[in-house]
């Protein structure tokens, strides 16, 4: 197969949802279709279970699983599918945001009873900003839930999407009879036994066909006819270009647990979802079919075994072929690196591969060279954009609790920050170090990992910070900027890249500071235009 065909047959995507909507179940059913796994229950959920174990033990367990599920690849009808795993837990939202820089499209899973939930809103907003094509899967139709039209309205309003149902449910919960598939013009009857893969698909090209009454009963058939008429009146026709530009979102209904409506989703997905897309670097737009290899690191995973401190850096290939044992330029370090055992992913297994193509993810063993956002090329100096840091929600001083282990502590902090576990700020005034995180859980993780992986001990001290704002001054030498720096000295810090950050102690003080220094801009993300 030629280079261009290899690119054209790849689909790299992420499944995003609020915890419990059914992401793991859907992933598993997709893998079953690809023949990548043999039985249900094979994909382990990486969600944080509430239970007897303490939080950080739970996180360690989750971390072990998430190495295995970081990338799940399988083949379906000649299409190579790469599913990138995204943690649903809100404390790990940054990981998910970063993974979204490496996907070419997403599937959003929504629970029919719960509707649009908080995490879904945040994640979809990021997808929308990046114009990532989205397909929505409404799950758990075997249970009572919201009316389909109400739910479609809710999705449009809360998520800011323009939806087009490509399938439509017949009843729900106890009365769930099946799905009419507008994409394929057929009827899928729910026997309640489709767990055993008995899914009856009946071609119905004309809904006025009286056989519909026999199949689902007269009243359900009439209702379906009315509803489909309404769908066709109210919603726009499916337009693939609009979908690819992120302006139109097809919706499917089903029940992942019952393996119902999943094949329909997959068949439509492989037909319409985009192959690897061009990616913007700071210097230029890079197309996947360029012959020279480029890629970027979107995730770093530390080894669970403290005796083997190597890490796995996940690289998304943007262009060209990635070959084993070939020197590539690590742009930030201006240094050539060769990789003798790059890992590719297949279902839940890793294997060493000689060649990978755009859209694929390779896992590279790393002894501390990489951090998230790094670019690799064949020699060209380009830097991929788009892995910003957002203001953390929690801030604490970190102190060394064992003076003999200062070196270990700083090395540990440094490496954990490169992995993207949290953000480090150093106060301008006195050099004290502040750890900022999205969720409170990360403090336990950091403490635990510093001790177990680096032999260092730390304590935390509370610090009252509302938000970290990256500062953009239109004139670095202006009097206003000098005054700002003098007056706010106590609140100024540097992030890991050395950028100036204002640690505002309240929303009010941030607002007052913005008013007082109008020539200075305060950004809640490290990347701004």
Give the binding site for ligand G4P (CB under 6 A). Answer: 17, 19-25, 45, 47, 88, 139-140, 142-143, 255-258
Distances in whole angstroms, Cα of residue 359 to Cα of each of 27, 380, 400: 19, 20, 42
User: Least distance (Å) from ligand G4P to the CB of residue 117?
Assistant: 10
Nearer to ligand G4P, 21 or 458 (CB): 21
* Cα 115 to the center of its chain, rounded Å: 20
Per DSSP, the three-state class of 456 is coil
Of 255 and 437, CB closest to ligand G4P: 255
CB nearer to ligand G4P: give 65 or 67: 65
Rounded to the nearest whole angstrom, what is the least distance from the CB of residue 196 to ligand G4P in the complex?
Answer: 15
* Min CB(302)–ligand G4P separation in Å: 23
Q: Which is nearer to ligand G4P, 81 or 256 (CB)?
A: 256
> Is the CB of 108 or the CB of 353 nearer to ligand G4P?
108
Measured from the CB atom, is 134 or 317 closer to ligand G4P?
134
Q: Which of 412, 413, 420 is nearest to 374 (CA)?
A: 420
Measured from the CB atom, is 255 or 356 closer to ligand G4P?
Answer: 255
What minimum distance in Å lies between the beta carbon of 25 and ligand G4P?
Answer: 3
Closest to ligand G4P by CB, 47 vs 177, is 47
State in angstroms the smallest separation of the CB of 27 from ligand G4P.
8
Shortest Å distance, C-beta 136 to ligand G4P: 14
Report the alpha-carbon distance of residue 54 to residue 73 in Å, rounded: 32
Q: What are phi and psi of 146, to 5 degrees?
A: -80, 155
b or e along 377-388 (b: 16 or more beta carbons within 10 Å of the residue's beta carbon)?
Answer: bbebebebbbbb
Taking alpha carbons only, the member of 135, 127, 158 closest to residue 26 is 135
Please provide residue 417's backbone torsions phi and psi, each rounded to the nearest 5 degrees.
-70, -40
Q: Min. distance of Cβ 504 from ligand G4P in angstroms?
A: 34
Taking the alpha carbons at both ends of the chain, their separation in whole angstroms is 41
| Nearest residue (CB) to ligand G4P, 23 versus 488 | 23
Q: How many residues does the chain have?
A: 529
Tell how strand 467-473 and strand 500-504 pair up: antiparallel
Query: Which residues does 501 contact at the CB level (< 8 Å), separation at least 6?
Result: 425, 468, 469, 470, 471, 492, 493, 494, 495
Cα–Cα distance list, 344 to 25, 46, 73, 491, 516 (Å): 23, 20, 9, 45, 53
C-alpha–C-alpha distance, residues 447 and 443, integer Å: 6
Q: Closer to ligand G4P at the Cβ: 126 or 207?
A: 126
25's CB contacts (< 8 A; 6+ apart) are 139, 256, 257
Q: Name the minimum Å distance from CB 36 to ligand G4P.
A: 17
Least distance in angstroms from the C-beta of 225 to ligand G4P: 26
What is the distance between the alpha carbons of residues 516 and 493, in angstroms, rounded to a whole number? 20
In the DSSP assignment, the letter for residue 8 is H
Residue 26 beta carbon to ligand G4P: minimum distance, rounded to whole angstroms: 7
Cβ proximity to ligand G4P, 252 vs 395, nearer residue: 252
User: Residue for token digits 């990992």?
Assistant: 449
How far from the centroid of its chain's Cα atoms is residue 451's Cα?
29
The least distance separating ligand G4P from the CB of residue 100, rounded to whole angstroms, comes to 16
Beta pairing, strands 361-366 & 375-377: unpaired
Q: Give strand ranges (E) for 18-117.
A: 71-76, 79-84, 105-111
**Are 49 and 141 spatial neighbours (Cβ–Cβ below 8 Å)?**
no
């Amino acid at each position: 197969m030629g280079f261009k065909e290899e690119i054209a047959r790849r689909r790299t995507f992420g499944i995003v949802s609020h915890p419990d909507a059914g992401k793991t179940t859907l992933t598993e059913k997709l893998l079953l279709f690809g023949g990548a796994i043999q039985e249900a229950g094979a994909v382990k959920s990486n969600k944080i279970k509430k239970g007897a174990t303490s939080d950080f033990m739970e996180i360690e367990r989750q971390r072990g699983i998430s190495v295995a599920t970081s990338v799940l690849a399988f083949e379906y009808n000649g299409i190579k599918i790469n599913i990138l795993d995204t943690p649903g837990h809100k404390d790990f939202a940054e990981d998910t945001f970063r993974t979204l820089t490496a996907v070419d499209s997403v599937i959003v899973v929504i629970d029919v009873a719960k509707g649009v939930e908080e995490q879904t809103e945040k994640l979809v907003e990021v997808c929308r900003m990046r114009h990532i094509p989205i397909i929505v899967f409404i799950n758990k139709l075997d249970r009572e839930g919201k009316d389909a039209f109400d739910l479609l309205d809710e999705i449009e309003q809360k998520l800011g999407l323009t939806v087009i149902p490509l399938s439509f449910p017949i009843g729900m919960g106890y009365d769930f009879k099946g799905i009419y598939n507008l994409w394929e013009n057929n009827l899928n009857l729910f026997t309640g036994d489709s767990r055993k893969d008995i899914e009856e698909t009946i071609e119905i090209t004309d809904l006025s066909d009286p056989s519909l009454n026999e199949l689902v009963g007269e009243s359900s058939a009439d209702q379906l006819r009315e509803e489909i008429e309404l769908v066709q009146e109210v919603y726009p026709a499916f337009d693939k270009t609009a979908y690819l530009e992120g302006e139109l979102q097809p919706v499917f209904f089903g029940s992942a647990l019952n393996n119902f409506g999943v094949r329909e989703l997959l068949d439509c997905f492989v037909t319409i979802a985009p192959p690897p897309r061009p990616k913007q670097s700071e210097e230029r737009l890079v197309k996947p079919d360029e012959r020279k290899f480029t890629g970027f690191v979107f995730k770093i995973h530390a080894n669970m075994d403290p005796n083997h401190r190597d890490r796995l850096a996940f690289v998304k290939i943007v262009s060209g072929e990635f070959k084993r044992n070939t020197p590539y330029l690590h742009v930030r370090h201006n240094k050539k690196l060769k990789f003798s055992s790059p890992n590719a992913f297949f279902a839940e297994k890793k294997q060493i591969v000689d060649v990978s193509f755009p859209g694929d993810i390779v896992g590279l063993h790393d002894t501390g060279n990489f951090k998230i956002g790094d670019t690799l090329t064949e020699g060209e100096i380009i830097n991929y954009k788009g892995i910003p840091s957002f203001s953390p929600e929690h801030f604490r001083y970190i102190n060394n609790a064992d003076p003999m282990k200062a070196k270990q502590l700083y090395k540990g902090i440094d490496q954990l920050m490169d992995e993207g576990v949290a953000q480090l700020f150093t106060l301008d005034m006195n050099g004290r170090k502040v750890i900022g995180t999205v969720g409170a859980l990360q403090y336990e993780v950091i403490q635990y990992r510093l001790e177990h992986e680096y032999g260092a001990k730390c304590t935390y001290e509370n610090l009252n910070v509302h938000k970290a704002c990256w500062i953009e001054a239109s004139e670095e030498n202006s009097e206003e900027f000098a005054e700002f720096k003098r007056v706010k000295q106590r609140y100024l810090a540097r992030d890991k890249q050395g950028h100036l950050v204002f640690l505002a102690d309240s929303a009010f003080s941030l607002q007052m500071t913005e008013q007082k220094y109008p020539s200075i801009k305060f950004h809640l993300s490290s990347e701004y235009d």
